[in-house]
Amino acid sequence: MTGSLSARLLIAVSVVLALFFGATVVVLDLAFRHSAERAVEDRLDVQIFLLLAEAEPTGADTVLVPEDLPEPRFASPGSGLYGQINDASGELVWRSDSAVGVSLPMPASASVGEHIFFRSTLANDERVFVHTLMVEWEFDDGTSARYQFGVAESFEPYLAQVRRFRRQLFGWFAGLAVALVITLGFLLRWVLTPLRRIEQEIESVEAGTQAELSTQYPRELRGVTRNTNRLIHAERSRLERYRNTLGNLAHALKTPLAVIRSTLEQRDGVDTEVETQLRRIDDIMSYQLNRAAASGGITLGHKPVALTEVLPPLVRTLDKVYADKRPVCTLRIEDDADFYGDEGDFIEVAGNLLDNAYKYCDHQVIVSATAVIAADSPRPGLRLVVEDDGPGIPPELVATVMQRGVRGDERAEGQGIGLAVVREIVELAGGHVVIDRSPQGGARVSVTWGQGSAS
């Protein structure tokens, strides 16, 4: 998952959103609780002034409060709203019916006109908000007395309000976060579409179905596609120049060598050592030309080579060359068996293998081509198997015949470089060559481009 750029961006954005939303939820929760406490304080302040409006002191130590208060909860035991009045010395003067058996904690050091709001716990372990106010009452005879009014409210309404707010807050933010992540997912998919298109086009170039990357990309990616196309073109041009240079060199040297050989023959004949060295030079040129051709397997943008169009002409040509043997060649080519690479490379490999098979067979040659599932590649691989009914190659000589200039049968004509060229072409393209014995009795050479099992 994390190997995907889209997934990494989505995860990073989701983490940032989670942190941002988490911090926002905490701030909003703190703000709401503070606001809810202020609302409780204001509400209790109103209740104190209601008590003040209804209370009537009758002496220095008594206050008359009517039973019919505007707030009916004062008259209901356990209602969660409690009222109490103390005198200046802290002695109880009046207590609401709802506060029977409950004593409110009243601050002893309050000054006249001072509002005090705090949290507390009653004797019955009930948590409450307490609001008190110290007032000084002046009588008609000029005397005065201080009374402390106190109102308390249970925590439960406040906690229930906070819980409702948190459920709504978390629900809304969770829904918003999911909606944002989904929206960002679609946006990232849309924004990264050009990158996915580049990936698909590169796979098409590797598969040979497209020669180069297109140019219709956003400004930020045009440099990448332009430079990639330049690299593809430069690689093709370099390979073409390499091949042409070696080809020109070989052709330029072949003529002087032929002249030297002809001149020596016209004089006193060609010395054996000189003839050997001339043949060696000719072999080296042929080998290096074939090796240059082998480098074509590493280039990009090759169209797939249809084996049904390449192998039959090779077979017909070799049937004519080895007509005296009356060989029978059987082709077994699967419909999806194509070669993704340079056509010249495939012809070089198949031509060498078929020529060896025709050369050493008794009468029968079998050619099989199957597609293989290539690892880490958008295009399938290929397994080409060429076998015959000849004498075969002894196991102890398998490694030897893969070397340049070595033949399994010294009596046969040839330069002994065919299998070496095959090995280099295949290995440069990431494949491998295996030589063993065929069920027909002769040699079986299996060439595989790409790793996997037969499809």
Query: Concatenated DSSP letters for 330-381?
Result: EEEE-TT-EEES-HHHHHHHHHHHHHHHHHH-SSEEEEEEEEE--TT-SS-E
pLDDT of 15: 86
Tell me, what's the pLDDT at 453? Answer: 43
Tell me which DSSP letter residue 454 carries: B
pTM: 0.50
pLDDT at 422: 85
How high is the pLDDT of residue 315? 92
Low-confidence ranges of the chain (pLDDT < 50): 1, 297-298, 405-416, 453-455
- The DSSP-derived string for 262-294 is HHHHHHT---HHHHHHHHHHHHHHHHHHHHHHH
Tell me what pLDDT residue 301 has: 56
Residue 163: closest CA among 21, 24, 36: 36
Distance between CA 258 and CA 307 in Å, rounded? 37
| Residue the block writes with tokens 């906070």 | 162
The confidence score (pLDDT) of residue 298 equals: 47
Question: Which pLDDT score is estimated for 226?
Answer: 79
3-state secondary structure string across 286-308: HHHHHHHHHHHHHCCCCCEEEHH
Find all residues with CB under 8 Å of 161, minimum gap 6, and list them.
Answer: 36
153-154-160 Cα angle (round to 5):
120
Six token digits for residue 344:
């010249």
Alpha-carbon separation of residue 15 from 22, 181, 208 (angstroms): 10, 10, 41
- Can you tell me which residue has the tokens 């996915």? 196
> SS3 for 87?
strand
- Rg (alpha carbons) of the chain, rounded to whole number: 49
- Chain Cα centroid distance, residue 4: 2
CA atoms of 384 and 348, how far apart (whole Å): 13
CA torsion through residues 333, 338, 341, 342, sign = positive
Burial of 317 per CB tally in 10 Å (0-12, 13-18, 19+): middle
How buried is 34 (Cβ within 10 angstroms: 0-12 exposed, 13-18 middle, 19+ buried)? exposed
Query: Can you give the pLDDT at residue 418?
Result: 65
